[in-house]
Structure 1
């Protein structure tokens, strides 16, 4: 395992997350340390309430930690303001969510074009069409999310996540809303594209079968990463 920040896609040092409640402060993450190498696939597993999704959100720069350091693609997230974090995410990061998170007023093609248009890099329509064809949805380009099945919506979401060729892809329960058949199809697609693009993959899942397809699994309990 690499040890220098420059060789790591993600490095976390002494990460803590605390939130105020009516009964006092609630500790969600406790002294989390983690290293993820470029090109590695890693699954974060553990029971509900263990802190998995909170950790993923912090790693992706979607929220601020109470204390500790997070280095993402060599950038110090813990030292950046929201605008700087957003710029880093736009250049380096892709996301896949359990609830798909498609824009309902946009077609499948427009949803996949959106990240390229926001970044201002590349031929948005050409690249979006090519990737939707790759995920088997060339016949659904002009359909809106409410006209697509759950499996189709998640394939659009995968195409959207990969269209900018991100260095790091975060996936939060990517098959959580799908039946078994669609789950396997989406899994296969996720790992095929991940291998083709040499993306670093960090996913949260309750599905141990999905977790075992990753190169490494780390388990959370009570806001802590268990030693393995």
Structure 2
């Protein structure tokens, strides 16, 4: 039996504005199975990134519950949430979020070292080879193209073998060729590692490669029925 790795129940996010309270998320329910790939789509400002940040324990809801791998986030303080993120999740950002002063190798090693992973350098070398960057080990981010930086970010995300990988517009800053290469890697690594993938995207082709799509609309989630696109189509 496949267990749920993410459970979201009656999630509400409300913020105060000059015009009064604004409810961004309006009672979201979501269940994501272990190893599943899920795309969250919808127009800008619909709450996609807010939802992703709360599920990833980077933000706090106004009410409702989120659990990751059976752990209820509402029972954790900020330090415990940081520990959970380190042990269970990784995040790929649209803007790469690499450390400017570290080489590609050092960027990939960083989360492994922080989590106490043995042989961090050896594993980082293996992951950079998997993403085709063995020849760029000692380059700083500013010496890499956007596509190369995002591949470094993918290697960094997968090195700690996360239970869940969150990706916020992972191809948003890339041209079509680099975007497709990064997307191919993302799904290949996701399937090879059995990692649960939850991504936010405006790219419909990328979204349709996921097993499921949900759409944010006026603070609510709507399940979309679709057939995933096979790699290479």
Q: For this structure pair, what is the TM-score category when the shorter chain's length is used for normalisation?
A: over 0.9
- Alpha carbons 1:61, 1:77 under 8 Å: kept: yes
Aligned counterpart, 1:53 = 49
Q: Is there any run of 5+ residues in structure 2 with no aligned partner, and where?
A: 225-233
Report the Cα distance in structure 1 between the residues aligned to 2:110 and 2:117, rounded to whole angstroms: 11
Give the C-alpha shift of residue 174 in structure 1.
0.2
Q: Is there any run of 5+ residues in structure 1 with no aligned partner, and where?
A: none
State the aligned residue count: 224
| Structure 1 runs, 4 residues or longer, greater than 4 Å off | none
TM-score (norm 1): 0.96
Matches within 5 A, 1:105-184: 105-184=101-180
Aligned counterpart, 2:24 = 28
- Between 72-81 and 194-203, the greater mean CA deviation after superposition: 72-81
Report the Cα distance in structure 1 between the residues aligned to 2:223 and 2:166, rounded to whole angstroms: 22
SS of 2:26's equivalent in the other structure is: strand
Q: Are residue 190 (structure 1) and residue 186 (structure 2) matched?
A: yes
Matches within 5 A, 1:80-119: 80-119=76-115
SS of 1:183's equivalent in the other structure is: helix
The CA RMSD over aligned residues, in Å, is 1.0
Give the C-alpha shift of residue 227 in structure 1.
4.7
Aligned counterpart, 2:218 = 222
Aligned counterpart, 1:41 = 37
C-alpha distance after superposition, 1:187-217 (max 9, x if no partner): 0000010111000000000000000000000
- Alpha carbons 1:49, 1:222 under 8 Å: kept: no
TM-score (norm 2): 0.94
